[in-house]
């Protein structure tokens, strides 16, 4: 995961991470937000429609392995858990932009009349072994770095990716 080239994005990302540490405190080895979580193994089963929209490999193969992270909504790592109710399954959809839709500002909503296409189903089925170690190692990336998918022009995407990288480096160092 490469760092952004724009120094302003890097500075803003450090500011975001520092702000989260200011709100929730510093918890070495933990994420500054969504600090308590678990890594889960699963699979993604794409639809035929997904393969028609993109050449991305995960839309054109069957039963793709995935790693997901389920987390609480705070930066407090000691928040109590509840018992899971079995395997988690959800459907992944995309909303189709039309000419003139704003694609570089995530705060602008598109009309509900925009077509939605089901891309597939995600099935989460087992907790990853050695979760604590893997949580420090794995950094999720908000930038789609795969052939067949391009990010929008929204500057928040790079800022978020850089904040994830900064947080990941902090976890690795702890």
Q: What are the pLDDT digits (tens) for 125-135?
A: 999 999 989 98
Residue 143 falls within a domain, yes or no? yes
Say yes or no to pLDDT of 12 above 80: yes
Range of the domain at 62: 7-76+86-96+103-173
Confidence of residue 40 (pLDDT cuts 50, 70, 90): very high
Instruction: Please give the pLDDT value at position 79.
Output: 61
Residue whose entry in the numeric block shows the structure tokens 């699979």:
43
Cβ proximity of 96 and 119 under 8 Å: no
Pairwise CA distance, residues 53 & 117, whole Å:
9
Instruction: Please give the pLDDT value at position 82.
Output: 53
Q: Indicate the number of domains in the chain.
A: 1
Residue 20 falls within a domain, yes or no? yes
pLDDT digits (tens, 9 = 90+) for 133-163: 998 888 888 888 899 998 888 998 999 999 9
Residue 109 falls within a domain, yes or no? yes
> Which range has the worst mean pLDDT, 12-26, 65-79, 131-145, 156-170?
65-79
Residue 147 falls within a domain, yes or no? yes
Total number of residues shown for the chain: 174
Mean pLDDT for all residues in the chain: 89
Pairwise CA distance, residues 143 & 150, whole Å:
8
Instruction: Please give the pLDDT value at position 139.
Output: 87
Residue 158 falls within a domain, yes or no? yes
Residue 116 falls within a domain, yes or no? yes
């Amino acid at each position: 995961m490469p760092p952004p080239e724009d120094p302003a994005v890097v500075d803003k990302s450090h500011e975001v991470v520092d702000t989260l540490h200011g709100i929730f405190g510093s918890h070495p080895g933990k994420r500054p937000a969504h600090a308590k979580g678990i890594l889960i193994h699963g699979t993604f089963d794409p639809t035929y429609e997904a393969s028609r929209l993109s050449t991305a490999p995960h839309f054109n193969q069957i039963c793709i392995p995935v790693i997901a992270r389920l987390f609480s909504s705070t930066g407090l790592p000691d928040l109590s858990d509840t018992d899971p109710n079995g395997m988690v399954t959800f459907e992944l959809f995309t909303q189709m932009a039309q000419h003139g839709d704003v694609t570089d500002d995530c705060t602008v909503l598109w009309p509900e009349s925009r077509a939605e296409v089901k891309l597939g189903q995600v099935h989460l089925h087992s907790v990853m072994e050695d979760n604590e170690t893997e949580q420090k190692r794995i950094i999720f990336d908000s930038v789609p770095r795969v052939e067949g998918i391009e990010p929008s022009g929204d500057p928040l995407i790079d800022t978020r990716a850089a904040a994830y990288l900064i947080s990941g480096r902090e976890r690795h160092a702890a």
